[in-house]
Amino acid sequence: MPVDAQFFAAIVAGYATACMAWLAAARWIPGFPPDEPPQDQPNRPWLDIFIAVLVVAGIFALGQAYRAGWLLPESSRRWNPLIFNLNALIWYLPLFVGLLARRQPTSTIYLRPAGLHKKIFAGVAIAAASVAAYLAVMGQLPNYGQVLQGTFERRSLQHALPVFLEGAVIAYVFVRLRWLGGTWLAILLPSLLFAAAHIPRGLAAGQSIAHIAAYFALTGGITVIVLLTLIRSRDIVWLGIVHYVMDVAIGAFD
């Protein structure tokens, strides 16, 4: 198996394991997940979509400002992680502005404090299982302890907040797409776009149509599974922990 295909299969295995683990926990563990009240449908979903577009545009603009060095300047090595996270809060400030503009609670991004300890514990346990699945497919299972240890290293921990905020933005847009067009539009649109984004690279690499089609189906399929599980859980805490630990496993912060 080519290295890129193996890596891709490992990512799919990791996130599929995470979703199956959450669904199994929801079925078999009493009191899990914590009760989440249903959300009220807003009366102007088009306005929410318009604001969501502005939120995403603002985040991209501030991200470019950060890369250009226009936000808080880095100082000594000791303080760089703090400055980095303060910049992340500035970078993702449009998310909070969007919520305030419509006076919407954080439950509209699947974030509520109820049962937080259960959500964190579930996220840690599920992340441990998903990373094991990823490493098993990569043939790197002996590195399991090293990867878990890496999640507590300073160079990794400084990225935990930005990773979580990234997930919050995805939930923000997803919920508002669901308000406007229903569940399946909110699921299929990002899934198809995410899957289609891999096609140009496959064509450039000279992959066969069958190979590209298989990637398309697997990428879109795993995105559908993750989003369906997100709807079921209505919580980004556990998924944010999985996302962070998986990023450590793949070396995203190296």
Q: Note the pLDDT tens digit of each residue in 108-129.
A: 999 998 889 999 999 999 999 9
Looking at residue 50, what is its pLDDT?
96
Average pLDDT on 215-223 reads 84
Task: Check whether the bond before 33 is cis (ω within 30° of 0).
Answer: yes
Mean pLDDT taken over the chain: 90
| 133 pLDDT above the threshold of 50 | yes
Average pLDDT on 138-144 reads 96
Render the burial of 8-17: b for 16+ CB within 10 Å, e for the rest: bebbbbbbbb
31 vs 249: which has the higher pLDDT: 249
With bands split at pLDDT 50, 70 and 90, how would you rate the model's confidence at 190? confident
The answer to the question of residue 167 being in a domain is: yes
The answer to the question of residue 199 being in a domain is: yes
pTM of this structure: 0.89
User: Out of 6-10, 77-81, 248-252, which region has the weakest mean confidence (pLDDT)?
Assistant: 77-81
Looking at residue 179, what is its pLDDT?
94
Sign, CA dihedral 121-251-165-70, equals positive
- List, as own/partner pairs, every contact residues 199-202 make where C-beta atoms lie below 8 angstroms and the sequence separation is at least 24, other chains included: none
Domain span at residue 45? 3-30+41-250
Average pLDDT on 165-190 reads 92
With bands split at pLDDT 50, 70 and 90, how would you rate the model's confidence at 76? low
The answer to the question of residue 119 being in a domain is: yes
Average pLDDT on 149-157 reads 94
The answer to the question of residue 36 being in a domain is: no
Distances from the Cα of 165 to the Cα of 44, 86, 128, 241, angstroms: 25, 12, 21, 11
| 191 pLDDT above the threshold of 90 | no
State the total domains in the chain: 1
| 89 pLDDT above the threshold of 80 | yes
Distances from the Cα of 181 to the Cα of 21, 40, 147, 186, 228, angstroms: 29, 15, 40, 7, 16
pLDDT > 70 in the chain, percent: 97
The answer to the question of residue 35 being in a domain is: no
Could you give the CA distance from residue 193 to residue 200 in angstroms, rounded to a whole number? 12
With bands split at pLDDT 50, 70 and 90, how would you rate the model's confidence at 2? very low
The answer to the question of residue 92 being in a domain is: yes
| 1 pLDDT above the threshold of 50 | no
Read off the amino acid at residue 50: F
Average pLDDT on 215-242 reads 91
Q: Which of 34, 38, 14, 27 is nearest to 218 (CA)?
A: 14
75 vs 218: which has the higher pLDDT: 218
The answer to the question of residue 71 being in a domain is: yes
The answer to the question of residue 56 being in a domain is: yes
At 161, is the secondary structure helix, strand, or coil? helix
